[in-house]
Amino acid sequence: MVLILMGPPGCGKGTQGKRLEERYSIPQLAMGDMLREAVRNETPVGKRAKSYMDRGALGPDDLIIEVMRERMGREDCAKGFILDGFPRTLAQAEALGGLLGDLNKKITAVINLDVADEEVVKRLAGRRSCKSCGAAYHVAFSPPKINGVCDKCGKELIQRSDDNENTVRQRLSVYREQTAPLISFYDRMGLLKNVQGTGTIDEIFRSVCSLIDKETGR
Ligand code: AMP
């Protein structure tokens, strides 16, 4: 099974992807997480991606496609995977077709989580995550018990450097210009499933799962 999660930054791709990973026992391949790890480890990929990420722009297609090619080829991807934050351009979507062909796989469904711009800004400005275990919080919607401290492991909570209002607005405009056209690209291929991205995490998860189960006959 190959699932693609689409939607603007802050639409809940990461959160839903984690849940889908557990339910369907296939890994979530989150491009943003892979790039942040590369930046932290100062790898050649990280060094090249950093300046784009800092200003809310998209990294170069050739780099991103290469990172994905390498990741998809690993053993844990044999039964399928969930793509979160890839593809984000038409060139990446076209390259994905080739990568999947090489692996003898096909896209099962493209889930588009729909959330309005103002809601995105509110969500991302309050988003925090644990420096150590990655658990996600929101200062207003799902705060930790102790301010700034992870409930699960007691380590410090941090804010992503690109979650400030200016960079979020820049990321949104990049999304509208470069990524939103993929919605009609996948719709024309008959793969697109639209899901309302507002509501509780559980409600959205139920909608997403019922669409996938219908598609796969589970
Ligand atoms: P995310 O965590 O998905 O919001 O991604 C964070 C940042 O990583 C983006 O703002 C981009 O700079 C970069 N990035 C993530 N995925 C891609 C992609 N598919 N293509 C280009 N840049 C990406």
DSSP codes joined into one string, 10-35: TSSHHHHHHHHHHHHT--EEEHHHHH
Ligand 1 pocket (Cβ < 6 Å) reads: 9, 31-32, 35, 52-53, 56-59, 64, 85-86, 88, 92, 162, 171
Whether the predicted pLDDT of 218 surpasses 90? no
At residue 66, the 3 state secondary structure works out as: helix
Is 182 within 8 Å of 87 (Cβ atoms)?
Answer: yes
Give pLDDT tens digits for 23-79.
Answer: 999 999 999 999 999 999 999 999 999 999 999 999 999 999 999 999 999 999 999
Average pLDDT over residues 193-201: 94
d(CA 52, CA 111): 26
Look at residue 201 in the predicted model and tell me its pLDDT. 93
User: Mean pLDDT in the chain?
Assistant: 96
Domain boundaries, the chain: 2-115+164-216
Is 195 within 8 Å of 204 (Cβ atoms)?
Answer: yes
Give 168 Cα–ligand 1 centroid separation in angstroms. Answer: 12
Average pLDDT over residues 141-163: 95
Whether the predicted pLDDT of 129 surpasses 90? yes
Active site residues: 13, 88, 127, 160, 171
* Confidence class for position 112, pLDDT limits 50, 70, 90: very high
Q: What is the pTM assigned to this prediction?
A: 0.93
d(CA 37, CA 140): 27
Q: Whose CA is nearest to atom 1 of ligand 1?
A: 32
Average pLDDT over residues 19-24: 97
As a whole-number percent, the residues of the chain with pLDDT over 90 amount to 96
Neighbours of 14 (CB within 10 A): 20
* CATH number for the domain whose boundaries are 2-115+164-216: 3.40.50.300
